[in-house]
Structure 1
Amino acid sequence: MKLWRNIYLLISSLLSLSCSVSPPQGVQAVENFSLDRYLGTWYEIARLDNRFERGLEHITATYVRNPDGSVKVINQGFSATQQQWRRSIGKAKFIDSPNRAALKVSFFWPFYGGYHVIALDPEYRYALVAGPSRNYLWLLSRTTKLENEETTSLLKIARELNFPVDKLIWVNQG
Protein backbone atom coordinates (compact mmCIF):
# COMPACT_ATOMS: atom_id res chain seq x y z
CA MET A 1 0.00 0.00 0.00
CA LYS A 2 2.83 2.40 0.87
CA LEU A 3 4.56 1.63 -2.45
CA TRP A 4 1.43 2.57 -4.44
CA ARG A 5 1.04 5.77 -2.45
CA ASN A 6 4.66 6.71 -3.24
CA ILE A 7 4.18 5.88 -6.92
CA TYR A 8 1.01 8.00 -6.99
CA LEU A 9 2.84 10.91 -5.32
CA LEU A 10 5.72 10.64 -7.79
CA ILE A 11 3.41 10.57 -10.81
CA SER A 12 1.37 13.48 -9.43
CA SER A 13 4.53 15.50 -8.88
CA LEU A 14 5.82 14.80 -12.36
CA LEU A 15 2.49 15.69 -13.94
CA SER A 16 2.32 18.94 -12.01
CA LEU A 17 5.80 19.84 -13.24
CA SER A 18 4.75 19.14 -16.80
CA CYS A 19 1.96 21.70 -16.48
CA SER A 20 3.97 24.73 -15.35
CA VAL A 21 3.40 26.69 -18.53
CA SER A 22 1.68 29.84 -17.22
CA PRO A 23 3.72 33.03 -16.96
CA PRO A 24 4.66 34.37 -13.53
CA GLN A 25 1.89 36.29 -11.80
CA GLY A 26 1.56 39.81 -13.20
CA VAL A 27 3.53 39.00 -16.37
CA GLN A 28 1.75 39.12 -19.73
CA ALA A 29 2.80 37.72 -23.08
CA VAL A 30 2.95 40.02 -26.11
CA GLU A 31 -0.31 40.33 -28.09
CA ASN A 32 -0.54 40.68 -31.89
CA PHE A 33 2.38 38.27 -32.19
CA SER A 34 3.54 37.00 -35.59
CA LEU A 35 5.23 33.61 -35.46
CA ASP A 36 6.45 34.00 -39.03
CA ARG A 37 8.40 37.13 -38.05
CA TYR A 38 9.76 35.43 -34.91
CA LEU A 39 11.06 32.32 -36.71
CA GLY A 40 14.78 32.03 -37.38
CA THR A 41 17.86 32.38 -35.19
CA TRP A 42 18.14 34.49 -32.04
CA TYR A 43 21.32 35.13 -30.03
CA GLU A 44 21.16 34.91 -26.27
CA ILE A 45 22.50 38.17 -24.86
CA ALA A 46 21.78 37.54 -21.19
CA ARG A 47 19.92 35.04 -19.00
CA LEU A 48 19.20 34.07 -15.47
CA ASP A 49 21.25 31.04 -14.51
CA ASN A 50 19.64 27.67 -15.17
CA ARG A 51 21.02 24.16 -15.08
CA PHE A 52 20.47 23.38 -18.77
CA GLU A 53 22.62 26.30 -19.99
CA ARG A 54 25.14 26.49 -17.18
CA GLY A 55 28.66 27.09 -18.47
CA LEU A 56 27.61 27.66 -22.07
CA GLU A 57 28.53 30.55 -24.32
CA HIS A 58 27.79 31.43 -27.96
CA ILE A 59 24.19 30.39 -27.31
CA THR A 60 21.57 30.55 -30.03
CA ALA A 61 17.94 29.53 -30.27
CA THR A 62 16.53 28.73 -33.69
CA TYR A 63 12.81 28.40 -34.34
CA VAL A 64 11.41 26.57 -37.37
CA ARG A 65 7.74 25.94 -38.16
CA ASN A 66 6.82 22.24 -38.25
CA PRO A 67 4.27 20.94 -40.80
CA ASP A 68 1.75 20.36 -37.98
CA GLY A 69 1.86 24.03 -36.93
CA SER A 70 4.08 23.48 -33.90
CA VAL A 71 7.56 24.99 -33.70
CA LYS A 72 10.85 23.11 -33.74
CA VAL A 73 13.19 24.65 -31.17
CA ILE A 74 16.94 24.16 -31.59
CA ASN A 75 19.02 25.48 -28.70
CA GLN A 76 22.78 25.38 -29.09
CA GLY A 77 25.72 26.56 -27.03
CA PHE A 78 29.44 25.98 -26.67
CA SER A 79 30.93 24.51 -23.50
CA ALA A 80 34.41 26.00 -23.12
CA THR A 81 35.33 23.55 -20.36
CA GLN A 82 34.39 20.51 -22.47
CA GLN A 83 35.45 22.15 -25.74
CA GLN A 84 32.30 20.98 -27.48
CA TRP A 85 28.95 22.19 -28.74
CA ARG A 86 25.81 21.13 -26.91
CA ARG A 87 22.48 21.03 -28.68
CA SER A 88 18.91 20.41 -27.55
CA ILE A 89 15.95 20.01 -29.85
CA GLY A 90 12.44 20.58 -28.60
CA LYS A 91 8.93 21.34 -29.71
CA ALA A 92 6.78 24.35 -28.87
CA LYS A 93 3.03 24.87 -29.15
CA PHE A 94 0.90 27.91 -28.51
CA ILE A 95 -0.97 27.75 -25.22
CA ASP A 96 -3.93 29.72 -26.53
CA SER A 97 -4.06 31.86 -29.63
CA PRO A 98 -1.12 32.07 -32.07
CA ASN A 99 -1.57 35.85 -31.85
CA ARG A 100 -0.37 35.76 -28.24
CA ALA A 101 3.33 35.00 -27.59
CA ALA A 102 2.63 32.37 -24.92
CA LEU A 103 3.94 28.93 -25.75
CA LYS A 104 4.73 25.70 -24.00
CA VAL A 105 8.03 24.04 -24.89
CA SER A 106 9.12 20.46 -24.38
CA PHE A 107 12.62 19.09 -24.70
CA PHE A 108 11.61 15.89 -22.96
CA TRP A 109 8.05 14.72 -23.54
CA PRO A 110 5.64 14.85 -21.69
CA PHE A 111 7.19 17.70 -19.69
CA TYR A 112 6.49 21.25 -20.82
CA GLY A 113 7.66 24.62 -19.57
CA GLY A 114 6.30 28.06 -20.33
CA TYR A 115 7.93 30.29 -22.93
CA HIS A 116 6.49 33.80 -22.91
CA VAL A 117 7.71 36.67 -25.05
CA ILE A 118 6.99 39.58 -22.70
CA ALA A 119 8.62 42.41 -24.67
CA LEU A 120 9.34 42.53 -28.37
CA ASP A 121 10.81 45.13 -30.67
CA PRO A 122 8.27 46.16 -33.36
CA GLU A 123 10.79 45.05 -35.99
CA TYR A 124 11.44 41.73 -34.18
CA ARG A 125 15.11 42.62 -33.62
CA TYR A 126 15.22 41.90 -29.88
CA ALA A 127 13.00 40.27 -27.28
CA LEU A 128 12.58 39.63 -23.58
CA VAL A 129 11.43 36.10 -22.76
CA ALA A 130 10.20 34.69 -19.45
CA GLY A 131 9.66 31.14 -18.33
CA PRO A 132 7.03 29.88 -15.90
CA SER A 133 8.61 31.69 -12.93
CA ARG A 134 10.80 34.70 -12.26
CA ASN A 135 13.79 32.32 -12.16
CA TYR A 136 13.79 32.19 -15.97
CA LEU A 137 14.52 35.22 -18.12
CA TRP A 138 16.32 35.72 -21.42
CA LEU A 139 17.34 38.76 -23.45
CA LEU A 140 17.48 37.74 -27.10
CA SER A 141 18.65 39.55 -30.21
CA ARG A 142 18.89 38.89 -33.92
CA THR A 143 22.52 40.00 -33.68
CA THR A 144 25.30 39.08 -31.26
CA LYS A 145 25.10 42.48 -29.54
CA LEU A 146 22.37 44.80 -28.32
CA GLU A 147 22.71 48.57 -28.33
CA ASN A 148 22.83 50.19 -24.88
CA GLU A 149 19.44 51.83 -25.39
CA GLU A 150 17.80 48.50 -26.27
CA THR A 151 19.44 46.74 -23.34
CA THR A 152 18.38 49.50 -20.94
CA SER A 153 14.80 49.31 -22.21
CA LEU A 154 14.57 45.53 -21.71
CA LEU A 155 16.19 45.69 -18.28
CA LYS A 156 13.74 48.39 -17.21
CA ILE A 157 10.78 46.19 -18.22
CA ALA A 158 12.25 43.17 -16.43
CA ARG A 159 12.96 45.21 -13.31
CA GLU A 160 9.39 46.60 -13.27
CA LEU A 161 8.10 43.02 -13.47
CA ASN A 162 10.26 42.06 -10.46
CA PHE A 163 12.76 39.83 -12.23
CA PRO A 164 16.17 39.70 -10.47
CA VAL A 165 18.06 41.55 -13.23
CA ASP A 166 21.11 41.95 -10.99
CA LYS A 167 21.64 38.19 -11.34
CA LEU A 168 21.68 38.14 -15.14
CA ILE A 169 24.56 36.33 -16.80
CA TRP A 170 25.87 38.16 -19.86
CA VAL A 171 26.63 35.61 -22.56
CA ASN A 172 29.91 35.62 -24.43
CA GLN A 173 28.91 35.79 -28.10
CA GLY A 174 32.43 36.78 -29.25
Structure 2
Amino acid sequence: MRGGPPLETVDRVDLERYMGQWYVIANIPYFGERGNVAGRAIYRMRDDGRIDDIYRYRDGSFDAPEEEMTGVAWVVDEETNAEWKVQFYWPIRFGYYIIGLDEDYQWTVVGHPSREYAWIMAREPVVSDERYEALLALLEARGFDSSQLQKVPQRPEQVGQRGFQ
Protein backbone atom coordinates (compact mmCIF):
# COMPACT_ATOMS: atom_id res chain seq x y z
CA MET A 1 0.00 0.00 0.00
CA ARG A 2 1.45 3.32 -1.05
CA GLY A 3 -0.58 5.35 1.36
CA GLY A 4 0.23 9.00 1.69
CA PRO A 5 -2.01 11.94 2.43
CA PRO A 6 -5.80 11.53 2.28
CA LEU A 7 -7.02 11.06 -1.28
CA GLU A 8 -8.30 14.35 -2.67
CA THR A 9 -11.55 14.23 -4.64
CA VAL A 10 -13.08 16.63 -7.13
CA ASP A 11 -14.92 19.60 -5.62
CA ARG A 12 -18.42 18.55 -6.68
CA VAL A 13 -20.23 15.78 -8.56
CA ASP A 14 -23.69 16.29 -10.02
CA LEU A 15 -25.08 12.82 -9.36
CA GLU A 16 -27.77 13.09 -12.03
CA ARG A 17 -25.12 13.81 -14.67
CA TYR A 18 -22.82 11.10 -13.34
CA MET A 19 -25.46 8.38 -13.62
CA GLY A 20 -25.51 6.16 -16.69
CA GLN A 21 -23.00 4.00 -18.48
CA TRP A 22 -19.22 4.37 -18.28
CA TYR A 23 -16.79 2.24 -20.28
CA VAL A 24 -13.82 1.00 -18.25
CA ILE A 25 -10.87 2.31 -20.26
CA ALA A 26 -8.20 1.14 -17.82
CA ASN A 27 -7.87 -0.03 -14.25
CA ILE A 28 -5.71 -1.40 -11.53
CA PRO A 29 -8.07 -4.34 -11.30
CA TYR A 30 -9.38 -6.11 -8.24
CA PHE A 31 -10.02 -9.87 -8.37
CA GLY A 32 -13.49 -9.52 -9.96
CA GLU A 33 -12.15 -7.56 -12.95
CA ARG A 34 -8.92 -9.33 -13.91
CA GLY A 35 -8.96 -10.58 -17.49
CA ASN A 36 -12.36 -9.10 -18.33
CA VAL A 37 -13.08 -7.41 -21.65
CA ALA A 38 -15.85 -4.98 -22.62
CA GLY A 39 -16.15 -3.79 -19.01
CA ARG A 40 -18.78 -1.17 -18.29
CA ALA A 41 -20.05 0.39 -15.10
CA ILE A 42 -23.67 1.49 -15.02
CA TYR A 43 -24.92 3.72 -12.23
CA ARG A 44 -28.61 4.29 -11.48
CA MET A 45 -30.17 6.30 -8.66
CA ARG A 46 -32.54 4.32 -6.50
CA ASP A 47 -35.65 5.54 -4.69
CA ASP A 48 -33.93 4.91 -1.33
CA GLY A 49 -31.13 7.36 -2.18
CA ARG A 50 -28.57 4.65 -2.86
CA ILE A 51 -27.05 3.92 -6.27
CA ASP A 52 -27.23 0.69 -8.25
CA ASP A 53 -23.69 -0.16 -9.38
CA ILE A 54 -23.92 -2.63 -12.24
CA TYR A 55 -20.73 -4.03 -13.76
CA ARG A 56 -21.17 -5.72 -17.16
CA TYR A 57 -18.31 -7.55 -18.84
CA ARG A 58 -17.20 -10.57 -20.80
CA ASP A 59 -14.90 -13.03 -19.08
CA GLY A 60 -11.62 -13.16 -20.99
CA SER A 61 -13.02 -13.11 -24.53
CA PHE A 62 -15.41 -11.17 -26.73
CA ASP A 63 -16.91 -14.56 -27.61
CA ALA A 64 -17.87 -15.16 -23.97
CA PRO A 65 -21.42 -14.33 -22.89
CA GLU A 66 -21.96 -11.00 -21.21
CA GLU A 67 -22.00 -11.31 -17.44
CA GLU A 68 -23.14 -8.92 -14.77
CA MET A 69 -22.30 -8.18 -11.15
CA THR A 70 -24.70 -5.98 -9.25
CA GLY A 71 -23.65 -3.92 -6.29
CA VAL A 72 -24.91 -0.98 -4.34
CA ALA A 73 -23.21 2.33 -3.67
CA TRP A 74 -23.97 5.23 -1.39
CA VAL A 75 -22.59 8.73 -1.08
CA VAL A 76 -20.44 9.25 2.02
CA ASP A 77 -19.55 12.92 1.49
CA GLU A 78 -22.80 14.68 0.62
CA GLU A 79 -21.07 18.06 0.35
CA THR A 80 -19.12 16.95 -2.74
CA ASN A 81 -20.90 13.70 -3.75
CA ALA A 82 -17.39 12.56 -4.74
CA GLU A 83 -16.77 10.00 -2.00
CA TRP A 84 -18.83 6.82 -2.06
CA LYS A 85 -18.84 3.37 -0.53
CA VAL A 86 -19.53 0.44 -2.83
CA GLN A 87 -20.50 -3.10 -1.93
CA PHE A 88 -20.63 -6.02 -4.36
CA TYR A 89 -20.01 -8.81 -1.83
CA TRP A 90 -21.28 -8.72 1.73
CA PRO A 91 -19.68 -7.66 4.04
CA ILE A 92 -16.91 -6.12 1.90
CA ARG A 93 -17.29 -2.39 1.27
CA PHE A 94 -14.71 -0.27 -0.45
CA GLY A 95 -14.05 3.40 -0.93
CA TYR A 96 -14.85 4.95 -4.31
CA TYR A 97 -13.30 8.40 -4.66
CA ILE A 98 -13.99 10.47 -7.77
CA ILE A 99 -10.61 12.17 -8.20
CA GLY A 100 -10.98 13.41 -11.77
CA LEU A 101 -14.08 14.39 -13.72
CA ASP A 102 -14.53 16.09 -17.05
CA GLU A 103 -16.67 19.24 -16.87
CA ASP A 104 -18.89 17.68 -19.57
CA TYR A 105 -18.96 14.32 -17.74
CA GLN A 106 -17.26 12.51 -20.65
CA TRP A 107 -14.51 10.89 -18.54
CA THR A 108 -13.88 10.18 -14.89
CA VAL A 109 -11.03 8.90 -12.76
CA VAL A 110 -11.86 6.90 -9.64
CA GLY A 111 -9.44 5.81 -6.98
CA HIS A 112 -9.41 3.79 -3.79
CA PRO A 113 -7.88 5.55 -0.77
CA SER A 114 -5.22 2.80 -0.47
CA ARG A 115 -4.07 3.81 -3.95
CA GLU A 116 -3.96 0.11 -4.85
CA TYR A 117 -7.00 0.31 -7.16
CA ALA A 118 -7.99 2.86 -9.79
CA TRP A 119 -10.25 3.22 -12.78
CA ILE A 120 -10.29 5.45 -15.84
CA MET A 121 -13.75 5.46 -17.38
CA ALA A 122 -15.38 7.30 -20.26
CA ARG A 123 -18.75 7.63 -21.91
CA GLU A 124 -17.25 6.32 -25.17
CA PRO A 125 -15.29 3.05 -25.46
CA VAL A 126 -12.01 4.82 -26.32
CA VAL A 127 -10.18 7.98 -25.32
CA SER A 128 -7.40 9.68 -27.24
CA ASP A 129 -3.80 8.81 -26.39
CA GLU A 130 -3.29 12.40 -25.23
CA ARG A 131 -6.29 12.21 -22.87
CA TYR A 132 -5.16 8.83 -21.55
CA GLU A 133 -1.66 10.14 -20.80
CA ALA A 134 -3.15 13.19 -19.03
CA LEU A 135 -5.34 10.93 -16.88
CA LEU A 136 -2.35 8.75 -15.99
CA ALA A 137 -0.54 11.94 -14.94
CA LEU A 138 -3.53 12.88 -12.76
CA LEU A 139 -3.30 9.50 -11.04
CA GLU A 140 0.45 9.90 -10.49
CA ALA A 141 -0.13 13.35 -8.99
CA ARG A 142 -2.56 11.75 -6.49
CA GLY A 143 0.00 9.14 -5.42
CA PHE A 144 -0.94 6.18 -7.64
CA ASP A 145 1.59 4.10 -9.55
CA SER A 146 0.21 4.64 -13.05
CA SER A 147 2.40 1.82 -14.41
CA GLN A 148 0.00 -0.56 -12.63
CA LEU A 149 -2.92 0.49 -14.82
CA GLN A 150 -3.91 -1.87 -17.60
CA LYS A 151 -6.16 -0.93 -20.48
CA VAL A 152 -9.38 -2.91 -20.77
CA PRO A 153 -10.15 -4.12 -24.30
CA GLN A 154 -13.44 -2.62 -25.47
CA ARG A 155 -13.09 -3.95 -29.02
CA PRO A 156 -11.82 -7.37 -30.19
CA GLU A 157 -8.89 -5.86 -32.12
CA GLN A 158 -7.48 -4.45 -28.85
CA VAL A 159 -6.96 -7.90 -27.30
CA GLY A 160 -3.25 -8.66 -27.07
CA GLN A 161 -2.14 -5.13 -27.94
CA ARG A 162 0.55 -3.51 -25.81
CA GLY A 163 -0.80 -2.09 -22.56
CA PHE A 164 -4.05 -4.06 -22.65
CA GLN A 165 -5.00 -6.81 -20.19
Q: Same fold (TM over 0.5)?
A: yes
What TM-score does the superposition give when structure 1 sets the normalisation length?
Answer: 0.81
Alignment-derived partner of residue 16 in structure 1:
none
Alignment-derived partner of residue 36 in structure 2:
56
Alignment-derived partner of residue 100 in structure 2:
119
Alignment-derived partner of residue 130 in structure 2:
149
Long gaps (5+) in structure 1: 1-22
Bigger Rg over Cα: 1
Alignment-derived partner of residue 159 in structure 2:
none
Question: SS of 2:130's equivalent?
Answer: helix
Identity of aligned residues (%): 30
Greater share of residues in helix: 1
Distance 2:86 2:54 in 1: 11
CA change 1:24–1:76 in 2 (3 A) is: farther
Q: Return the letter of the residue paired with 1:72.
A: D
Distance 1:123 1:114 in 2: 24
Equivalences for residues 36-51 of structure 1 within 5 A? 36-51=16-31
Distance 2:22 2:138 in 1: 20
**RMSD over aligned Cα atoms:** 1.8
Question: SS of 2:5's equivalent?
Answer: coil
* 1:72-112 deviation line (CA, Å, top 9, x unaligned): 00001101368232211011111121533100011123321
Q: Return the letter of the residue paired with 2:14.
A: S
Distance 2:53 2:79 in 1: 16
Long gaps (5+) in structure 2: 156-165
Q: Return the letter of the residue paired with 2:51.
A: V
After TM superposition, give the deviation of residue 136 of structure 1 in Å: 0.4
Aligned length: 152
What TM-score does the superposition give when structure 2 sets the normalisation length?
Answer: 0.85
Equivalences for residues 5-154 of structure 1 within 5 A? 25-80=5-60, 83-97=64-78, 99-154=80-135
* 1:94-153 deviation line (CA, Å, top 9, x unaligned): 112153310001112332110111000000000110023111000000000012232122
CA change 1:117–1:31 in 2 (3 A) is: same
